Amino acid sequence: MIKAILIFNNHGKPRLSKFYEHYSEDTEQQIIRETFHLVSKRDENVCNFLEGGMLIGGSDNKLIYRHYATLYFVFCVDSSESELGILDLIQVFVETLDKCFENVCELDLIFHVDKVHNILAEMVMGGMVLETNMNEIITQVDAQNKMEKSEAGIAGAPARAVSAVKNMNLPEMPRNINIGDISIKVPNLPSFK
């Protein structure tokens, strides 16, 4: 069972934290910090497995991590998971993120935390691996996003327009139309009762 999935950057700032076992808020933050300390000390060419820190269950649990550019992806698992399998899972997760966000970078994770959570929810559920097929995951996530967009109502109009423009394939169309935030203020006219 996977106990926790953490993503943080090279300075220890959390970019995503999902715990599949209950810890109090303070403990969660402490776990993130402790894990960062353990993982950042590691050299580049040592193995990707560590014993878990004391807070997260000690030597029964293992930390399996991968370092991509500025981010550490850490999965804390217990002994029922295959270590090499989890390494592959991290790889699949990152590739999925890449497909969803187009050349994903840390900024994408920063600004779209909820989307990352949704993708993760399609892969791991309750600490267990749900789906590993990248295309399947992406299809589901896209479908749900579409549902969301269709409900968005008028506040979503700008976003919809932007994506509609992006999807148009007219070569003459200027590419830098920034519609941005349009807040339509309805004047309060007391004379109209």
Partner 1 sequence: MPAPIRLRELIRTIRTARTQAEEREMIQKECAAIRSSFREEDNTYRCRNVAKLLYMHMLGYPAHFGQLECLKLIASQKFTDKRIGYLGAMLLLDERQDVHLLMTNCIKNDLNHSTQYVQGLALCTLGCMGSSEMCRDLAGEVEKLLKTSNSYLRKKAALCAVHVIRKVPELMEMFLPATKNLLSEKNHGVLHTSVVLLTEMCERSPDMLSHFRKLVPQLVRILKNLIMSGYSPEHDVSGISDPFLQVRILRLLRILGRSDDDSSEAMNDILAQVATNTETSKNVGNAILYETVLTIMDIKSESGLRVLAINILGRFLLNNDKNIRYVALTSLLKTVQTDHNAVQRHRSTIVDCLKDLDVSIKRRAMELSFALVNGNNIRGMMKELLYFLDSCDPEFKADCASGVFLAAEKYAPSKRWHIDTIMRVLTTAGSYVRDDSVPNLIQLITNSVEMHAYTVQRLYKALLDDISQQPLVQVSSWCIGEYGDLLVSGQCEEEEPIQVTEDEVLDVLEGLLVSNLSTPVTRGYALTAIMKLSTRFSSVNRIKKVVSIYGSSIDVELQQRAVEYNALFKKYDHMRPALLERMPIMEKTATNGPTEIVQTNGETEPSVLDTKHPPPVTQPANQANDLLDLLGGNDVVPVIQTTLPTKPASAGGELLDLLGDLSLTGGPAPAPAPSVPTSQPPFLLDGLSSQPLFNDIAAAGIPPMTAYNKNGLKIEFTFERANPNPNIAVITIHASNSTEADMTDFVFQAAVPKTFQLQLLSPSSNVVPALNQGTVTQVIRVLNPQKQQLRMRIKLTYTHKGSPVQDLAEVNNFPPQSWQ
| Interface residues toward partner 1, by CB under 8 A | 14, 16-18, 20, 22, 25, 28-29, 43, 45-51, 82-85, 87-89, 91-92, 110-111, 113-114, 117-118, 121, 125-133, 135-136, 140, 143-144, 147-148, 151-152, 155, 183
CA distance 138 to 5: 20
Closer residue to partner 1 (CB): 60 or 136: 136
Residue pointed to by tokens 């309750």 = 126
Smallest gap from Cβ 177 to partner 1, in A, equals 19
CA distance 75 to 12: 15
Smallest gap from Cβ 159 to partner 1, in A, equals 10
CA distance 77 to 52: 9
Smallest gap from Cβ 124 to partner 1, in A, equals 9
Closer residue to partner 1 (CB): 38 or 165: 38
* Residue spans of beta strands (DSSP E) within the chain: 2-9, 14-19, 49-51, 62-68, 71-77, 124-125, 128-129
What lies within 8 Å, CB to CB, of 79 at 6+ separation is 60, 61, 62
Closer residue to partner 1 (CB): 59 or 177: 59
CA distances from 17 to 49, 99, 147 (A): 19, 21, 26
Smallest gap from Cβ 69 to partner 1, in A, equals 18
Closer residue to partner 1 (CB): 17 or 165: 17
CA distance 177 to 5: 38
Smallest gap from Cβ 172 to partner 1, in A, equals 30
Closer residue to partner 1 (CB): 106 or 165: 106
